[in-house]
Amino acid sequence: MLKTSCLNIPFANPLVLASGILGVTAASMHKIIRDGAGGVTVKSISKAPRTGHPNPTMMGNDTYFLNAVGLSNPGIENGIAELIQFKKICPAPLIGSIFAGTADEFAELAELIAVAPIDILELDLSCPNVGREFGEPFAYSASAIGRITRETKAKVKVPISIKLSPNAWNIAELAKMAEAAGADAITAVNTVSGMAIDVRARRPILHNKQGGVSGPALFPIALKCVYDIYEAVKIPIIGTGGVMTGEDALKMIMAGATLVGVGSAVYYRGADVFGKIVAEMTEIMKQENIGSLDEIRGVAHGIM
């Protein structure tokens, strides 16, 4: 009922661990598969190791989660070792994720990580909390998206997905540019820029001051982004942002997503949230006489 194919890659179900959650170790990613995910996205990797931002780097409440971890990661060499180990112990689809400061570096990193047994490569062009180091995210610039996509595609054979930002007002047009430049899929979306202030301390809570908003507050924004992108491109969409329940996941698919990224829900509902969402999706589909996800993908775009 939930079996899904994306870029000719079979997934037991459409749920994938979103990038940035639970690190890059083979063991942690394998546990996510055992807990019910159909695939995993590794935490975004850079050429050299990064420690990220000083604490405090995250906070959460009932309505949103805010983080400015700062893309901490062990670097490409150590990251590849974990990806190889994951595939030795788990056959589930593996999505690599990289970030860089220039188009040339994206292409170089892609070539390096492609030696690992990844099934899809996500290019993170849109992290909202490292502006001081990298400047304006590439995900705001159609020309930058086009160049990075073309240069990366020239270096690797693995399918690539371009991760876009909900902060961009013209996200559908940017997705269209990525598709025209050769992207195989779109990941929509990253977190949205936000801030929290402690009234008694009279200062921002996060050391970085600003961070990325995820959790329930992001969901309607992400859902609209997926909806708009689906009308602009023909390539698959990995719908990500604020998915908490099986109903949320089905809404993403009805908006046009092929795969559904789940991240902050781990904070809200526990690491076994993937199994819970799978069970909820299955129950709703039985109630609504839906035999497969293909029957409802993009159905929300029907004439009213």
pLDDT at 231: 97
CATH number where 240 lies: 3.20.20.70
Q: Is 78 flagged in the annotation as binding?
A: no
Number of domains within the chain: 1
pLDDT at 266: 94
Ranges of the chain with pLDDT below 70: 23, 127-136, 303-304
Does a structural domain hold residue 249?
A: yes
d(CA 248, CA 57): 27
Does a structural domain hold residue 58?
A: no
The closest of 127, 124, 186, 181 to 149, measured between CA atoms, is 181
Give the angle 81-85-87 at the CA atoms, nearest 5°: 120
pLDDT at 131: 45
Q: Are 13 and 39 in contact (CB under 8 A)?
A: no
Q: Is 70 flagged in the annotation as binding?
A: yes
**Catalytic residue numbers?**
127
Does a structural domain hold residue 12?
A: yes
Does a structural domain hold residue 35?
A: yes
Q: Is 157 flagged in the annotation as binding?
A: no
Q: Are strands 58-60 and 39-41 parallel, antiparallel or unpaired?
A: unpaired
- Domain enclosing residue 17, as ranges: 4-49+72-193+214-301
N-term to C-term CA, the chain? 27
Does a structural domain hold residue 226?
A: yes
pLDDT at 271: 86
Q: Are 55 and 200 in contact (CB under 8 A)?
A: no
pLDDT at 133: 43
pLDDT at 250: 98
pLDDT at 117: 96
Q: Is 262 flagged in the annotation as binding?
A: no
Does a structural domain hold residue 206?
A: no
pLDDT at 128: 53
Q: Which residues contact 202 (CB under 8 A, 6 or more apart)?
A: none
Does a structural domain hold residue 268?
A: yes
Does a structural domain hold residue 66?
A: no
Q: Are 137 and 99 in contact (CB under 8 A)?
A: no
